[in-house]
Every structure is written in C-alpha cells, then in structure tokens.
Amino acid sequence: MAGFRISHLSATVALAALAVAGCNRTPNANQALLDNQSAAAPLPTLPATLPMTDIAAPPPAPAPAAAALPDTRPIRTVRVHDPRRGAEYAYADAASRFSDALGEAPPDYGFDYAGVQPWAWEGYDDSLVFAEPVSGGYRTYYYQPGEEQPYFVRDPYYSYGYDNGQLAVVYDAGGDIVPWEDYGPQVVYASRYLVRGRDLWRASRGDRISINVQNWTNYRINYFNQQQRWDAARSRQPLWVNYAQQDAAAQRHWQAEQARRRIDQQRFDAWQAQGFRAAPPPRAIPAQWQQASWARDPHRFTPVAATVAGGAAVAAGALIAHNAQLHRQQQQQLMQAQQANTVRLQREQALQQQQQRAFAAREQAQARSFQAGQQREMQQQAALARQQQAQAARQQQNERILARRQQAQANAQRAQQLRNERATIQREQQAARVQQQQQRVAAQREQQAARAQQQQQRLVAQREQQAARAQRDQQVRSERATMQREQQAARMQQQQERAAAQREQQAARAQRDQQMRAERATMQREQQQQARIERANVQREQQAARAEQQQARAQEMAQRRQQAEAARAQQAQARAVQRAESRPAPRPEPQRPAPHRENPHGGR
C-alpha cells in the first residue's frame, strides 16, 4: 500500500511557508514578497489566457463516454495511508480549492482534440483544469504545476484520485469513498481517463483558441450546476470537512488566484450587461506575465495587483483601485442609461402634450365653426366621449391582455424552465442508467474475457501436462530401450564369456578324464540355471536392472575368475600329475670302481 504523497499534491507548501514568513510585514515588504512569489513561478511560454471572442461558432461537441474511450491496460491501484484522518479526500480537496478560486470566471482558452474543444483554466502557479462536455454534464481533469498527467478526474457520476499514475481513491457522485474491493469497472474507466488526460495535456501545448462568448453563456449553467452538486457533496462528508480544516495553507495559497478570477468575472458581467456590443474586455494577468511575448498588448491583457499567497497581508491597493474604477464605470454606464431613458420619457411626454394641445385646438376650431349646429356638436362631443371611453376601454383591455400575455409568457417560461429542468434531470438519470448499463455490459464482457482467458489457460495447462506426459513416456521408453540394450550387451558379453570359458573347458576336457567332463557338465547346467534365474530377475526388476546387472556382472565375473582359476589350477594339477605319471623312474647310478694306484716303481 502506498501512502498519500504530499509532494505530489502540495505545490502550495513552499508558498505557504512564504506566507507565514510574510505576516506583519510593511506594504513594501509585502509587495517585494509578492514579486518574489510571482517570479518563482515559471513564465508561461504559451498564452496562459486569451480574450474571449463574439465570432459565431458551432455548439461544443460532446466527448466520448468512458465506455467508448479506447481500451488500455489497467493501472495499478494503491491505498491511502491513515484514511481515518480524511487523507483520502486530499485529491478531491485540492481540486475543489482550485475550482473555488476560479469561481464563475470564464475559461482562459480552448484547444482542439479529436473533434472536441475542451475549456481550460490556467492558474498563477501553472495549475491546470480542463473541462469537456459529456453526456449528463462535464468531465474535468485537474493537473498539478508542471505535471503532464492529472491527479484528479471527475465525471457526472464518479471521481478518481491518482497518485503518480496509480489509482488511489474513487468517489461516487455523493462524495462517498468507494470501497477498494468494489471498484469493479471503475478501474478500467480510471485507466482510460488517465490516458486521455495525458493526451489532452499534449494537445493543449499546441494552438490555443479564444472562448466563444455565446457558447460560454449558453452552456456554463450546466457546468456550474455540476460544480454546485459537488460542493454540496463536500459539505455532507465529515472526513472531508475535517481534512479541509487542517489544510489552511491551501486556502491562503489561492487568494491571489481568487482575486484575479473575480476581476475577470466582473469584466465579463459588465460586457454581458452591454449586450456584448463593446470589444471583449482584457484578461487579468499577473504583472510578471507582462514579460511574455504574448502578453504585451494592454488592450488584451492588463496586470492585476497580486495577493500574497498563504494568508499574508494583501497588496490590494491596485486591486481596490481597479475594482473601484470598474464600479465607477458601471455606475456611469447605469447613469447614462437612466439619463437616456429620462430624455426619452421627456420627449414622449412632450410629444403627447403637443398632440393634446393640437387636439384641443382642433376642438376649439370645430366649436367656433359649428356654433350653429350645437346639436351636432353635442352629438359629436357625445360620440367623441364615447370614442374616448371606448378607446380607454380598449386601452384598458389591451393592458389587461398585455398583462395576461406577459403573465402567460412568464408562466410559459417558468413551465419551460421546469420542463427543461425535468428534461435535464431525466437526461441525467437516463445517462446514468445508460452508463450503469454500459458499465454492467463492460463488466460482463470483462468477466467473459476473464473466463475465456481462464479457459485458454486451462487448455494451455492441459497441453503442457500432455507434453510433459509425452516427454515422460518418451523418457521411460528411452530408459527401457537403454536397459534393453544394456541387457542385450550383458547377455552377449555373458555369451562371449561363456564361449571363452567353454573353449578353455574344451581344451581342458581334452586332457582330463571323464570325471572332469562330468564336473564340467554339472558346472554348465549350474551356469545355465543361474543365467535363467538372472534373466528372470532382470525381467521382474526392470527399474533396478542397472544396479542388479552390474552386481550380477560383478558376481559372474568374480565367479568366472574363480572358476577359471580353479579350472587352471585343476588343469595345472592334472598336467602335473600327468607329467609325473609319464616321467620314467630314475635309474640307479652304476657303482664306479675304486681308483687304483699304480706303483711308480712298477709293483702293485
């Protein structure tokens, strides 16, 4: 299990430390600290915001649903350390704080990706959020500064927290933590969202386009309704509230961003009050961004006095002055509109009085001209009175009809609004049902795929077992053939040895008597009997044949050596006997006569 990495979700820590150090400073010191903080953030090389445009554009195209996104390998899931303190809500809380700072300010820019034009908000610290329309609402992606993959993704039904590309937590629409063992197909959707989030980030590095004011006016209500539902879910989660209270530094970090977005929102509201007839208002940017090549046009971008991130004293003089100037402009515009309305009413009243004076003059002229026809004049006056009464009655009736029409129109608008809300709810419910059905179908498909994979694995295991059995059978057959060859060689060796012994015995039999031949016959029968016994033992004990054959060969060789030695000894003894019998008896030596001596003198 992996704990929640503060380093990945607390880009505000360093800024918070600066904020704490910045308390009780002088305004100049606060401004210097503010400049250092702004300088610490990287200067955007691409336009981080663009003025809106009133050029006509088609309605935004919806992005594919989760089930329709390309399939990808499921990412690894991890668990958050110490969830009892609410650490599992760190991902949702970081995203919500950024959204709170943005408020209802319009997006900074858009970009094209696969036929969809997501909205993008880029913060002071290079934080990002992308929003793309989907069935039932919007899908939003939140990025930490400098990161190419989101740490939080929310769709109308679920939200996903990522820890360095790993799925750390899943929330349902009510903000509840989905148990780890109940993720189910949400792991697949979270994996697809992570891949799409990386692709969106890469696409945002290309050409950036201005937001169409009409599309933003028409469709922002759906976006903010979804935001409000998520905010309401946050207030119903005690662990989330507890975690948010412990992270006060994050709230201080977004003060500068909140002030900047409030100015953008006020400028848009003033532009909308003018019916978008004037030029698009400039976007509020940090003073440091004026160094970027894209932000040097004062008619498109104006610097805003930033606030010290982290709860330090706010360098708000320029901000207050700008807000006051904007308020004075709005008051002047309102006064000009009131003055124009007063002039218009005065002109209408003067025209009406002139018409009344002309009408009275005509009546007086008619009275002087027709004094003789007093009766006719009285009739004319009576007719005129009736005409005036009828005109007054018609005017009252027209006013009543107009009031009824206005009431009917208001009722129709309220009814249409209720129908629209009910239709929206029905569409959301239908989309939820469709998505749940798609999720069930996807889960069934995954289960079928898992079963098919298990069956394939079983087939592979069976094939491997069959191959192993075949290999063992082949090995047994090879061993048997080897044993048979060894046995055959042993038999041939035995036969050769017996033939040699027989030749020796035949040579011995030629020189020995019948008794020796009988002994040799007896010996031959014993050897044959012994050989039959040995062959039977070999057949009964094939597995131990090698050891037994070696022992048998050793015994046989020893026996043959003994027999050969005995035979040679017997043969040597027989030859010795034969030589002894055939040798003639020694003859006695003849006695030699005693030598006589002759007398040298001739006598005996």
The stretch 177-187 carries a mean pLDDT of 92
Indicate if the pLDDT at residue 195 is higher than 50.
yes
Give me 355's structure tokens.
């018409």
pLDDT of residue 6: 36
The stretch 136-152 carries a mean pLDDT of 97
The rounded percent of the chain whose pLDDT value lies above 90 is 37
185 touches 439 (CB < 8 A) = yes
Give me 310's structure tokens.
């982290």
Task: Give the integer Cα–Cα distance in Å for 193 and 160.
Answer: 9
Q: What's the burial of 179, exposed, middle or buried (CB within 10 Å: 0-12/13-18/19+)?
A: exposed
169 touches 88 (CB < 8 A) = yes
- Closest CA relative to residue 284, chosen from 306, 269, 308: 306
The stretch 117-138 carries a mean pLDDT of 96
The number of beta carbons lying within 10 Å of the beta carbon of residue 159 is 24
Provide the whole-model pTM: 0.50
Indicate if the pLDDT at residue 282 is higher than 70.
yes
96 touches 234 (CB < 8 A) = yes
Task: Give the integer Cα–Cα distance in Å for 53 and 493.
Answer: 106
Q: What's the burial of 565, exposed, middle or buried (CB within 10 Å: 0-12/13-18/19+)?
A: exposed
Radius of gyration, CA atoms only, the chain: 57
Which residue's structure tokens are 């970081």? Answer: 94
Task: Give the integer Cα–Cα distance in Å for 482 and 563.
Answer: 31
Indicate if the pLDDT at residue 348 is higher than 70.
no
- Closest CA relative to residue 86, chosen from 249, 237, 251, 229: 237
Give me 465's structure tokens.
């077992």
168 touches 186 (CB < 8 A) = no
pLDDT-based confidence at 33, cuts 50/70/90?
Answer: very low
Q: What is the mean pLDDT of the chain?
A: 77
Q: Beta 283-286 vs 301-304: how paired, if at all?
A: parallel
pLDDT in tens, 443-481: 777 777 777 777 777 777 777 787 778 888 788 888 888
Provide the residue type at 201 as one letter.
W
List beta partners, residue 162: 167
Among 76-80, 306-310, 517-521, the range scoring the smallest mean pLDDT is: 306-310
pLDDT of residue 3: 37
pLDDT-based confidence at 524, cuts 50/70/90?
Answer: confident
pLDDT of residue 589: 62
281 touches 267 (CB < 8 A) = yes
- Closest CA relative to residue 318, chosen from 267, 263, 268, 261: 263
- Closest CA relative to residue 265, chosen from 292, 283, 287, 285: 283
Q: Show me where the domains of the chain are located.
A: 6-315, 371-480
Indicate if the pLDDT at residue 593 is higher than 50.
yes
Among 21-30, 229-238, 261-270, 357-366, the range scoring the smallest mean pLDDT is: 21-30
Indicate if the pLDDT at residue 148 is higher than 90.
yes
User: In 342-445, where do the E strands start and end?
Assistant: none
142 touches 278 (CB < 8 A) = no
pLDDT of residue 139: 98
pLDDT-based confidence at 263, cuts 50/70/90?
Answer: very high
- Closest CA relative to residue 542, chosen from 481, 493, 494, 475: 481
Higher pLDDT residue, 16 or 593? 593
SS3 content of the chain, % helix, strand, coil (to 5): 65, 10, 25
Higher pLDDT residue, 511 or 260? 260
| Cβ neighbours for 195, distance < 8 A, ≥ 6 positions apart | 69, 70, 72
pLDDT of residue 316: 39
**Coil/strand/helix, residue 496:** helix
**Coil/strand/helix, residue 438:** helix
Higher pLDDT residue, 151 or 362? 151
pLDDT of residue 321: 47
The number of beta carbons lying within 10 Å of the beta carbon of residue 107 is 23
